[in-house]
Amino acid sequence: MLIEDAAYGNRWRRVSPAAKAVFALAGLAAAFAAATPRAGLGVSLALVAATVFGARVPAGRYLRVAAPALFFLALSGLSLVFSLQPDGVGGGLAFRATAAGLESFATVGSRSLGALAAMLFLVLTTPLLDIMGLLRRCRTPEVLLEIMVLCYRSLFVFAAAVQDTRTAQAARLGYGSPRLALRSLGQLVANLTLQVWQRAQTLHGAALARNNDGPLRFLPASFAHGRRDVAAAAAAGVALIALARGMA
């Protein structure tokens, strides 16, 4: 919901999703073009600034969304920096930081930060619905889009179903002990499976009731100033790539 709230509440909500996608793609390209850690960090900072100061996504929310990815980045950094080497005393092995490892982490880490910032820019400023609309305009196969739409909608429907079932179980001491919790969790999963089946049947009926005969058709969203926004995003993207190359 953090991402959802930011995507719907930022200043660039009504900017064309194509423009935001162009800028995010340029951000990815710039991150890969950054040959030095300094350039990678420069690209990352520019993207974070665009998200936090440009689109006005609150910095605290940004950090909370980025935290899991940063944690995994740090974890992978450890495996790059430290390697198993002979300890030189008794013929044993020991973990040691190496200069090559540090250099490699600095380069890969800064590029990854840039790529992460580019992706966060897109998802924190653009609701998934707009991204799906954009994918539809880019001629993505309908079946993939339909699966995306249904999964996205189902995510919230089932989140509510899980919450309701869990509350009902907790109200009857279903999570009173580890043994009971395990049992309740099993029942919840089993119940949810049944609900998935029933819900699929009902939604199929609802689609038929509105004259559906196969493919799911939806009206694409329209954005004013689409061309202008894309041109501006492309120019900003080129500047970002130039920054990455210039700082190398």
Partner 1 sequence: MIRPVASPEPLLELAGVSYAYADGSVGLAGCSLAIGRGSRNALIGANGSGKTTLFQHANGLLRPQAGQVSYGGQAVDYGRAGLRRLRSRVGMVFQNPDHQLFSASVREDVSFGPLNLGLSDAVVRRRVDAALEAVGMAAAADKAVHHLSFGQKKRVCIAGVLAMEPELLVLDEPMAGLDHGMQDELLAILDGLHGRGITLLLATHDIDFAYGWADAIHLMAAGRCVASLAAADLPAQGERLAAVGLPLPAVVAIHRVLAAKGLVPHQPPRSASELLAGLEIHLSPKETPCLVA
Q: How far is the CB of 58 from partner 1 (least distance, A)?
A: 18
C-alpha of 88 from chain center: 45
Cα(137)–Cα(231) distance, integer angstroms: 18
Q: How far is the CB of 129 from partner 1 (least distance, A)?
A: 5
> b vs e for 70-93, b when ≥16 Cβ sit within 10 Å of the residue's Cβ?
eeebeeebeebbbeeeeeeeeeee
Cα(7)–Cα(130) distance, integer angstroms: 10
Q: How far is the CB of 218 from partner 1 (least distance, A)?
A: 4
Nearer to partner 1, 203 or 234 (CB): 203
Nearer to partner 1, 4 or 87 (CB): 4
- Tell me which of 199, 232, 236, 239 binds partner 1, using CB under 8 A: 199
Nearer to partner 1, 114 or 133 (CB): 133
- Tell me which of 141, 218, 231, 242 binds partner 1, using CB under 8 A: 218
Nearer to partner 1, 130 or 230 (CB): 130
Cα(225)–Cα(4) distance, integer angstroms: 24
Q: Which of residues 3-32 bind partner 1 (CB under 8 A)?
A: 4, 8
Nearer to partner 1, 138 or 211 (CB): 211
Does 162 participate in binding partner 1 (rule CB under 8 A)?
A: no
Query: Which among 39-47, 93-101, 181-189, 197-205 is the span making contact with partner 1, rule CB under 8 A?
Result: 197-205
Nearer to partner 1, 72 or 156 (CB): 156
Q: How far is the CB of 153 from partner 1 (least distance, A)?
A: 5
By the 8 A CB rule, do 47 and 117 touch? yes
> Residue 38: which of 110, 105, 114 has the closest Cα?
110
Q: How far is the CB of 60 from partner 1 (least distance, A)?
A: 21
Query: Which among 19-27, 56-64, 128-136, 170-178 is the span making contact with partner 1, rule CB under 8 A?
Result: 128-136
Does 239 participate in binding partner 1 (rule CB under 8 A)?
A: no
Q: How far is the CB of 207 from partner 1 (least distance, A)?
A: 7
Query: What does the binding site for partner 1 look like in residue numbers (CB under 8 A)?
Result: 4, 8, 127-129, 132, 149-150, 152-153, 156-157, 160, 199, 202-203, 205-213, 216-221
